[in-house]
Amino acid sequence: MAQPLVKKDDDRDDEAEYSPFLGIEKGAVLQEARVFNDPQLDPRRCSQVITKLLYLLNQGETFTKIEATEVFFAVTKLFQSRDIGLRRMVYLMIKELSPSADEVIIVTSSLMKDMTSKTDMYRANAIRVLCRITDGTLLTQIERYLKQAIVDKNPVVASAALVSGIHLLETTPEIVKRWSNEVQEAVQSRAALVQFHALALLHQIRQNDRLAVSKLVTSLTRGTVRSPLAQCLLIRYTTQVIREAATTQTGDRPFYDFLESCLRHKAEMVIFEAARAITELNGVTNRELTPAITVLQLFLSSSKPVLRFAAVRTLNKVAMTHPMAVTNCNIDMESLISDQNRSIATLAITTLLKTGNESSVDRLMKQITNFMSDIADEFKIVVVEAIRSLCLKFPLKYRSLMNFLSNILREEGGFEYKKAIVDSIVILIRDIPDAKENGLLHLCEFIEDCEFTYLSTQILHFLGTEGPKTSDPSKYIRYIYNRVHLENATVRAAAVSTLAKFGAMVDALKPRVFVLLRRCLYDGDDEVRDRATLYLNTVGSDGEVIETDKVVKDFLFGSLDIPLANIETSLKNYEPAEQPFDINSVPKEVKTQPLAEKKAPGKKPAGLGAPPSGPPSTVDAYEKLLSSIPEFSDFGKLFKSSAPVELTEAETEYAVNVVKHIFDRHVVFQYNCTNTIPEQLLENVTVIVDASEAEEFAEVASKPLRSLPYDSPGQIFGAFEKPEGVPAVGKFSNMLRFIVKEVDPTTGDVEDDGVEDEYQLEDLEVVAADYVMKVGVSNFRNAWESIGPDFERVDEYGLGPRESLAEAVSAVISLLGMQPCEGTEVVANNSRSHTCLLSGVFIGNVKVLVRLQFGIDGPKEVAMKLAVRSEDDNVSDMIHEIVASG
């Protein structure tokens, strides 16, 4: 600010590697810092020493507490000097050292003096330093000066005060909020910078007050904002207001005209901000989009890479939801494929792949082939994913796209890239039946020369599942058996399993496969030999052409029906004992995914690889708890435990929630109670349950709580009998009854006499969804076909007006309480129809699969077609009943 430091002489020798900091050493510099204590200060020398100290800090050197304190005290001496350059370095040094509260006092008076100085540069910098190191108490002392500074006629001082205000708002909001009037005045400043900072601060002060923000936006969009940065801020605030207003109003979108007018601003920064804001509007229409797309299209041919990148990145996002709106830019986009900047080229390619139509696919693929060889793996993965979704969109084009994938599969590349390609081929094989044989052969060729054990084993496993179902399974045998000769033990073992699968599934191949398997008995590795022996003995029939027993097939190759994560935890918990490990003791419930999953909505499910692992199950914990209570020990195996349901409002005297445990013939309610009053002790706590609205239930046992002290949760149980295997539903009203005793919170003494009291809890319902367990399937189509149409029930339902398709889908999912499969719970933005696949197990261990097809029409009326397949027609009907009554 003010004047720059005197620039140093350039009369040193021009050595190539010369650096003023060559051989610099912390200890020596700290010694040098003693010059700060000289009675006759040499400002230039002091400046140099501070620069050295800052250099050390900047290079990652750290000072010990003692060193920092010493330097700090020495630096404070430098306030005596009147040299402006030195003073600036002193300010910087103090900020870097971030002194502790008791040290701050030393410099406070010097800084406060500077804050009221006549020199603008002193005022501005002193404000910044003081606000950075100060605490609340000091702030009240200097508040008056800060308010003055905000409206200071020097823009640097005003900006310094405003920015400091933004920082202080985090620690001491109550003080900064008192400055509203001054900040409001600063918003009108003629200086661009002041206006920008004032607007930022004003918005932060008011951000929780919707009405105030709306007023601010309304007044400013009419006036003139000079600073482009401030204009960008205003655009962001405006979109916020639009977002919040959209839910309450209909008709013309408010402020759209303002955004549109910003597209004609003279600063590119503002134009882009407005264009991006328009594309991100909720439910944006094509008419609203057009002007924004037009300016972005102009940016595509700019000479500045940053502009091209910004534009293509935004258009890429638009293409996901409004591909048609972007097609106008396709010609400009195609010329970007050869852009020097590979990020721009990749974004252009993937945009084109999204907007392309069936006829342009072939031409596009030709261009991409040239492009693929000179980009990095991370970009290639993006391209592969885009091609996969293109192929799913135009299944007829699978041949050229599959060829492309197999070509790039043969080229050099790292693991992640190869995995992305293999995953894509697997998904195409699964979803496009015509592509199956072709794709399987490509995968076979790939494992002939694959350096990644993980991919080889995954492909072998996939071949074992899909290969036997093709028209000529025998042609895969050669590829598989080659693995037994040429690979490491892990791959050999996987190949043996795959061979056995062919033998078991294709009766005609059995004799030949047996010959091969017998050779594997001489393998050098235990696992390979063991597998071969197991299969030879179980698939059986001595290799004759006889159908393999279904039980054997199920045992060897059937799916486990148990989430792998659950079996993993169960195995970890299993302690070697006389009792063998019981697979039936593993909980089947799929745990809800942790929130981290939300980060990637709409992501395609991976083709290969294990299902995502859930957090450790709490079912174990519940089961242990319940089996430890003698009254419930003969209820049998726990079928399902619900998530806790709150029975009290938040922040009431007693917090109670309930977990519903479902058994075959019983239901157990576990009331988790917490006493939130320190002055009370509750004794003999019971829950009085009125089951008059739940006719099929009869109370059989209850377990009260002897005492419930402050803030230590306790459990009360109530058990009900119900007809076996029937999903009985009903409503229960609950009353907490207890004896209150006064407690002196300071001493902890309890009074002897108590008073009986009651506390009404909210009602509790047992619903049909409580009898359905979330159990996922790895391949829905296979599972759907293997259950067969015997007990299929199909019907259509009108769901009435809904807020959105996504809302309707999630409502039905939670109503049924089933596990969504293959990521179908995610509804693409703005889509008019959606198919959702659910799976679960009904009480009595009946597997249920559900296919939901949703459609939405103009006035948000949602219709749904529900198809259920299960192993029991009663259960299929039951699912329909749940939907019909829900």
Partner 1 sequence: MDTCPSIKNILLLDSEGKRVAVKYYSNDWPTNSAKEAFEKAVFTKTQKTNARTEAEIAMLEGNVIVYKFVQDLHFFVTGGEDENELILATVLQGFFDAVGLLLRGNVDKKEALENLDLILLCLDEIVDGGYATCYSFILLINFDC
- Give the residue with the Cβ less far from partner 1, 14 or 102: 14
- Give the residue with the Cβ less far from partner 1, 269 or 551: 269
Interatomic CA distance for residues 552 and 549, integer angstroms: 5
How far is residue 287 CA from its own chain's centroid? 32
The neighbouring-strand residues paired with 659 are 670
Give yes or no for a contact between 148 and 185, defined as CB atoms under 8 angstroms apart.
no
- Give the residue with the Cβ less far from partner 1, 2 or 750: 2
Element spanning 337, H or E: none
Tell me which residue of 667, 672, 698, 694 sits closest to 685, measured CA to CA: 672
Shortest spacing between CB 227 and partner 1, in angstroms? 9
Shortest spacing between CB 40 and partner 1, in angstroms? 22
Residues that bind partner 1 (CB under 8 A): 1-5, 7-8, 10, 18-21, 47, 50-51, 54-55, 58-60, 88-89, 92, 95, 128, 155-156, 159, 162-163, 166-167, 192-193, 196-197, 200, 203-204, 207, 229, 232-233, 236-237, 240, 268-269, 272-273, 276, 303-307, 309-310, 313, 340-341, 343
The neighbouring-strand residues paired with 856 are 862
Give yes or no for a contact between 679 and 743, defined as CB atoms under 8 angstroms apart.
yes
Interatomic CA distance for residues 410 and 105, integer angstroms: 69
Shortest spacing between CB 229 and partner 1, in angstroms? 6
> CA dist 585 to 567, 582, 840, Å?
9, 6, 18
- Give the residue with the Cβ less far from partner 1, 42 or 721: 42
- Give the residue with the Cβ less far from partner 1, 343 or 675: 343
How far is residue 166 CA from its own chain's centroid? 29
Shortest spacing between CB 132 and partner 1, in angstroms? 8
Which two tokens mark 877?
């009907």
705-708 and 861-870 beta bridge pairing: unpaired
Categorise residue 576: left if φ over 0, alpha if ψ from -120 to 50, beta otherwise.
beta
Phi first, then psi, for residue 767 (nearest 5°) are -115, 170
750-760 and 730-743 beta bridge pairing: antiparallel
Shortest spacing between CB 456 and partner 1, in angstroms? 31
In single-letter form, the type of residue at position 336 comes to L
Interatomic CA distance for residues 445 and 880, integer angstroms: 47
Which two tokens mark 327?
């097609």
Which two tokens mark 379?
């970009």
Interatomic CA distance for residues 605 and 611, integer angstroms: 9
Interatomic CA distance for residues 252 and 241, integer angstroms: 14
- Give the residue with the Cβ less far from partner 1, 602 or 615: 602
Shortest spacing between CB 156 and partner 1, in angstroms? 6
846-856 and 861-870 beta bridge pairing: antiparallel
861-870 and 793-801 beta bridge pairing: antiparallel
How far is residue 607 CA from its own chain's centroid? 20
Sign of the dihedral through C-alpha 822, 825, 830, 832 = positive
- Give the residue with the Cβ less far from partner 1, 96 or 825: 96
Shortest spacing between CB 51 and partner 1, in angstroms? 4
- Give the residue with the Cβ less far from partner 1, 162 or 450: 162
Shortest spacing between CB 496 and partner 1, in angstroms? 42
Shortest spacing between CB 58 and partner 1, in angstroms? 6
Which two tokens mark 17?
């590697």
Phi first, then psi, for residue 323 (nearest 5°) are -55, -35
Shortest spacing between CB 194 and partner 1, in angstroms? 11
Interatomic CA distance for residues 228 and 225, integer angstroms: 8
> CA dist 466 to 540, 709, 787, Å?
22, 61, 18
- Give the residue with the Cβ less far from partner 1, 269 or 610: 269
Shortest spacing between CB 272 and partner 1, in angstroms? 5
- Give the residue with the Cβ less far from partner 1, 211 or 577: 211
- Give the residue with the Cβ less far from partner 1, 16 or 650: 16
How does DSSP assign 67-104, residue by residue?
HHHHHHHHHHGGGG---HHHHHHHHHHHHHH---HHHH
Which two tokens mark 501?
């699968």
- Give the residue with the Cβ less far from partner 1, 54 or 806: 54
Shortest spacing between CB 294 and partner 1, in angstroms? 18
Shortest spacing between CB 255 and partner 1, in angstroms? 15
- Give the residue with the Cβ less far from partner 1, 307 or 659: 307
Shortest spacing between CB 335 and partner 1, in angstroms? 17
- Give the residue with the Cβ less far from partner 1, 193 or 813: 193
3-state helix, strand, coil in the chain (%, to 5): 55, 15, 30
- Give the residue with the Cβ less far from partner 1, 339 or 589: 339
Q: Which residues contact 467 (CB under 8 A, 6 or more apart)?
A: 440, 473, 476, 498, 501, 502
- Give the residue with the Cβ less far from partner 1, 170 or 857: 170
Query: Within a 10 A sphere around the Cβ of 814, how many other Cβ atoms?
Result: 11
Which two tokens mark 170?
């985090």
Interatomic CA distance for residues 144 and 326, integer angstroms: 55
- Give the residue with the Cβ less far from partner 1, 2 or 645: 2
- Name the CA dihedral angle for 575, 580, 582, 585, rounded to a multiple of 10 degrees: -40
Which two tokens mark 743?
């407690």
Give yes or no for a contact between 178 and 192, defined as CB atoms under 8 angstroms apart.
no
Shortest spacing between CB 165 and partner 1, in angstroms? 9
Shortest spacing between CB 124 and partner 1, in angstroms? 9
Shortest spacing between CB 202 and partner 1, in angstroms? 12
Interatomic CA distance for residues 425 and 440, integer angstroms: 9
Shortest spacing between CB 181 and partner 1, in angstroms? 20
- Give the residue with the Cβ less far from partner 1, 237 or 759: 237
At 151, is the secondary structure helix, strand, or coil? coil
